Amino acid sequence: MTVASDIPETESWFHKNQQKIAPWLFLAPGILFFAVYVIIPIFQSFNLSLYEWDGLGKAEYVGFSNYEQLYWEYVDRDAFFISLKNNVIWLFMYLLAIPAGLFIALFLNQTVRGIRIYKSLFFFPFVISQVVVGLVFSWFYNPSFGLLNTMLDWVNLGPVNVLGDENLVTYGIIIAGLWPQTAYCMILYLTGLNAVDPEQIEAGRLDGAKGVRMLWHIILPQLRPATFIAFVVTIIGALRSFDLVSIMTEGGPFGSSRVLAYYMFEVALSEYGFRMGYGAAIAVVLFMIMMCFIAYFLWSMYREEKGH
């Protein structure tokens, strides 16, 4: 009933084997696309990182010299070191989105009139493009008219030039990033809280647990799936931080807010960047760092799959 009947041999063969063949037919277009645009390029980048190439002429094989230069940049505390250091700061600071999101979720997890609107509005920053978030926050920090300094002025503090201070700039950008990320974690927890078992809470209350103890011993264990997803998306988000750095500071002042993702782009494609091979080497380093986390996530997922 399925395939045209004028070629019966094919039909019967196909019919017999269709449960084996069908998945591959369904997978073929997706795998093809994914291979061409994602899998193969990863290997190409690995290969390219062994070359010196200005993106215009011929690429020249240089072995591991790009990595050697990165090593020296690390030793001399130059751009690569700063990028790596900032990536670590991003990783840790960005994780604050998880407790902050949980806090707001708990705050909003009530049933009063109009709470749905409040929840939506709190979630709002996540929907906005990071480009706009970056612009908004760079005005917020602007030393001559920014809202931040205006507010600091009310309490006789400041002024501070957050994006112009090499010690504050990374934190300033991360705070801009935390804004949408916290909203994201909040929504994950709000949904998680919906699924919390009321009987366990009642049991806990009877045992005299409340406040932080209740949260820690009864609520959080039940929120584990939400926490896991929040953790995954926050780590990945931290390592992908490109848009905000690019929009808010272009890595400045004097390169102190660079992160690997931005440094790579800067070296390879920006106004003064002509070093595709070097950029690829930076990308490989970033990829390796990311791979540690990806491996961990996959392992967690694998265990869960087996558990089913």
Find the binding residues for another protein in span 242-281 (CB under 8 A).
Answer: 242-243, 246-247, 249-250, 252-255, 260-261, 264-265, 268-276, 279-280
Between 92 and 107, CB nearer to another protein: 107
Say if CB 94 and CB 234 are below 8 A apart: yes
One residue of 80, 125, 173, 245 binding another protein per CB under 8 A: 125
The residues, ordered by sequence, that sit 6+ positions from 50 with a Cβ below 8 Å of its Cβ are: 61, 62, 63, 64, 66, 277
Q: Which helix (H) or strand (E) holds 52?
A: strand 51-52
Residue 92 CB, nearest distance to another protein (Å)? 18
Between 93 and 249, CB nearer to another protein: 249
One residue of 7, 39, 88, 157 binding another protein per CB under 8 A: 39
What is the rounded distance in angstroms from the CA atom of residue 42 to the CA atom of residue 31?
15
Does 10 contact another protein by CB under 8 A? no
The residues, ordered by sequence, that sit 6+ positions from 189 with a Cβ below 8 Å of its Cβ are: 101, 102, 105, 106, 223, 226, 230
Q: Cα dihedral angle (106, 112, 116, 121), rounded to 10 degrees? A: -70
Query: Residues touching another protein: how many (CB under 8 A)?
Result: 129
Does 196 contact another protein by CB under 8 A? yes
Between 93 and 184, CB nearer to another protein: 184
Does 99 contact another protein by CB under 8 A? no
The residues, ordered by sequence, that sit 6+ positions from 180 with a Cβ below 8 Å of its Cβ are: 125, 126, 128, 130, 133
Residue numbers 60-89 binding another protein by CB under 8 A? 69, 76, 78
What is the rounded distance in angstroms from the CA atom of residue 70 to the CA atom of residue 80?
6
- Binding mask 141-180 toward another protein (x if CB under 8 A, else -) reads -xxxx-x--x----------x-xx-x------------x-
